[in-house]
Amino acid sequence: MAHYCLICGSQLQTKWIENREREFCSVCGWINYEQLKVSAGCRIELEGKLLLVQRKNPPFKETWHFPSGYVEVDEYPPHAAERETLEECGLVVSANYLAGAYFYDDDPRGSGVVLMYSATINGGELSLSDETLAVKFFMPDELPALPLAGMSALASIQDWLAEKKNG
Ligand SMILES: [Zn+2]
């Protein structure tokens, strides 16, 4: 499929640039540096249980993950994590500190990094969105049986479990 320059609309060519083949525009010189998508999410623990949301839509339909989503281009990542949590499960939270950063390359929409913040609940009420099939707090021993939304969900939940075990 032909791709076109975002600056001048000319058809892009491919060329070896800075150690890999990249698309570039021979008319205006624009280079298409493909980059990872950035997402942010919240890790919310209450009375020893972990909050997860179940996806309603593909990809990863009906699997579980932390409330999270794409960071807008002008958005402070902790605010994106708080916004996505409110949208997906109805809770008003504060993203307190970065608990981990998780790479994934198993999403058909493109590869990326998820910034996962440890967060506390300030208000709101657990509720569903049009992207969410269910929201639930899980005990640590319930987590291994859950179908998870890909490698970043698995890695971030494993990290939380390891932290619980190590006190
Ligand atoms: Zn161009």
**pLDDT tens by residue, 101-133:** 999 999 999 999 999 999 999 999 999 998 899
Tell whether 56 and 117 lie within a shared domain: yes
Instruction: List the CATH number of the domain containing 54.
Output: 3.90.79.10
Q: What residues make up the domain containing 141?
A: 37-165
Task: Give the residues across from 98 on adjacent strands.
Answer: 117
107 alpha carbon – ligand 1 mean position (Å)? 29
| Ligand 1 midpoint to CA 29 (Å) | 6
Question: What would the pLDDT profile of 94-105 be if each residue is shown by its tens digit?
Answer: 999 999 999 999
92: Cβ–Cβ under 8 A, 6 or more apart, which residues? 82, 86, 121, 122, 123, 124
Distance 6 CA to ligand 1 centre (A): 7
Q: Residues 101, 144: one domain?
A: yes
Domain count, the chain: 2
Q: Answer yes or no: are the C-beta atoms of 25 and 12 closer than 8 Å.
A: yes
pTM of the complete model: 0.91
**Ligand 1 center to residue 110 CA distance, Å?**
24
